[in-house]
């Protein structure tokens, strides 16, 4: 009897370790364009892509061309949540930042309720920063995992 229970326990433990982890990336893009003319969004892709379809190996005999087209990588099914821009005509708008924080928090809470665990957050700013720079974005990637 003990051997049967141990065998069942071992089998169930083995099955649970076979379950692969799943990862998901959510991106927020917040405009830092003066006068509030930029666009700010949370982007959540609703399609899975297999990176191997778009990967090639570089060798001396072969220039590593992959048969897939760049257009094949595009995702047409995604969720887009509107955010406010950091700036308006009067300058930086702290109420907009607080509103974006509330919307992003809501999205993160919904992800957690769906069983996703926030693992990493990374962010960066893109701007020309040259004379009279009028463009730029603040981008944040939220990386989740689920067992």
pLDDT tens-digit series, residues 104-127:
999 999 999 999 999 999 999 887
Which two structure tokens, joined as six digits, stand for 79? Answer: 């969720």
Which two structure tokens, joined as six digits, stand for 42? Answer: 């949370």
The per-residue pLDDT for 13 is 61
The band of 139, judged by pLDDT with boundaries at 50, 70 and 90, is: very high
**Helix, strand, or coil (residue 68):** coil
Contact 120, 93 (CB under 8 A): no
Cα within 13 Å of Cα(23), Cβ side: 8
Portion of the chain with pLDDT greater than 90, in percent: 43
**Helix, strand, or coil (residue 116):** coil
Which two structure tokens, joined as six digits, stand for 57? Answer: 């190996």
What's the pTM?
Answer: 0.76
User: Quick one: average pLDDT of 48-56?
Assistant: 86
Contact 78, 44 (CB under 8 A): yes
């Amino acid at each position: 009897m003990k051997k049967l229970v141990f065998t069942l326990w071992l089998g169930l433990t083995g099955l649970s370790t076979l379950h692969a982890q799943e990862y998901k990336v959510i991106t927020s893009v917040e405009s830092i364009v003066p006068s509030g003319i930029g666009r700010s969004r949370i982007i959540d892709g609703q399609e899975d892509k297999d990176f191997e379809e778009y990967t090639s190996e570089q060798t001396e005999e072969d220039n590593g061309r992959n048969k897939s087209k760049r257009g094949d990588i595009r995702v047409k099914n995604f969720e887009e949540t509107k955010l406010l821009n950091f700036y308006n005509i009067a300058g930086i708008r702290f109420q907009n930042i607080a509103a974006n924080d509330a919307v992003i928090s809501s999205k993160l809470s919904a992800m957690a309720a769906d069983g996703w665990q926030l693992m990493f957050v990374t962010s960066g700013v893109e701007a020309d920063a040259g004379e009279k720079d009028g463009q730029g974005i603040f981008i944040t990637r939220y990386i989740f995992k689920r067992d």
